[in-house]
Amino acid sequence: MRPSVAMREYLAEIYRLQEYEPTVSTTSLAERLNVSAPAVPRMLKRLKSAGYVKHIPYQGVELTERGREEALRELRRHRILEVFLVKIMGFTWDEAHQHADDLSQGLNDALTERMAEMTSYPTRCPHGEPIPDAEGRLPEVNDICIINLSIGHKGEVSRVRTHELEKLRYFATLGLIPGAPVEIVGRAPFNGPMRLRVGREEVVLGAELTQSLWVT
């Protein structure tokens, strides 16, 4: 049985959350998917019955291998659609995620592959996240959150890991988009503000924003 649209959405979100924590709580899922707390256990029961997730007592859920395969398939659809929306349809990167959420429900593999062809088979979405290939393999990504680096580090923006519209718009005004050269020129102690050189300009970011910025 192939997963429903709602099941696909849950699997993709569990995958995203598992990048930060081994097991995913119902609270985290409810917040990220903007659904009621009682709705999550019902869906997780369906996913577990279908063999897509397993429950870890007192911790939460994690994807099975089958669930991971479906999650990567859904992420491929979503991220290729984001690239299509930006490159072909002219939407901005802050608009792409929400439109992709709305439109990906009707996507099938044939449409996804045609969009991939039209956008020259991209390996990253507009925010820098890796796009699984048609076999579910992820391209290798070697980057690190900039908050973990010290003064003097030079690199390139790899990913901007947020879907919040205002944050994405602000990053864009500063030129902090994937591919941009960046250097850490100063930082306050105890996770205080960080001063960056972006091209020829200097900008200051607080801890909340630096947590979303990943660099090579």
Structure tokens at 50: 């279908």
For the segment 193-207, the average pLDDT, to the nearest whole number, is: 94
Structural contact between residues 176 and 203, judged by C-beta atoms closer than 8 angstroms: yes
For the segment 29-57, the average pLDDT, to the nearest whole number, is: 91
Distances (CA, A) of 117 to 16, 114, 126, 134: 25, 5, 16, 12
pLDDT at residue number 1: 65
Q: Is the pTM of this model over 0.85?
A: yes
Across the chain, the runs of DSSP E, i.e. the strands, are: 53-56, 60-63, 144-145, 154-160, 181-187, 194-198, 201-205, 213-215
* pLDDT per residue as tens digits for the range 114-173: 999 999 999 999 999 999 999 989 988 899 999 999 999 999 999 999 989 999 999 999
C-alpha 54/C-alpha 61 separation (Å) is: 6
pLDDT at residue number 58: 82
Across 123-207, the runs of DSSP E, i.e. the strands, are: 144-145, 154-160, 181-187, 194-198, 201-205
Percent of the chain having pLDDT more than 70?
Answer: 100
**Domains along the sequence of the chain with CATH:** 5-63 (1.10.10.10), 77-139 (1.10.10.10), 144-215 (2.30.30.90)
Dihedral sign from CA coordinates of 170, 173, 178, 184? negative
pLDDT at residue number 128: 96
Structural contact between residues 178 and 172, judged by C-beta atoms closer than 8 angstroms: no
pLDDT at residue number 157: 97
C-alpha 193/C-alpha 196 separation (Å) is: 10
> Residue 71 pLDDT more than 90?
yes
pLDDT at residue number 22: 86
Phi and psi (nearest 5°) for 99?
-65, -40
User: Shortest CA distance to 152 belongs to which of 183, 176, 191?
Assistant: 183
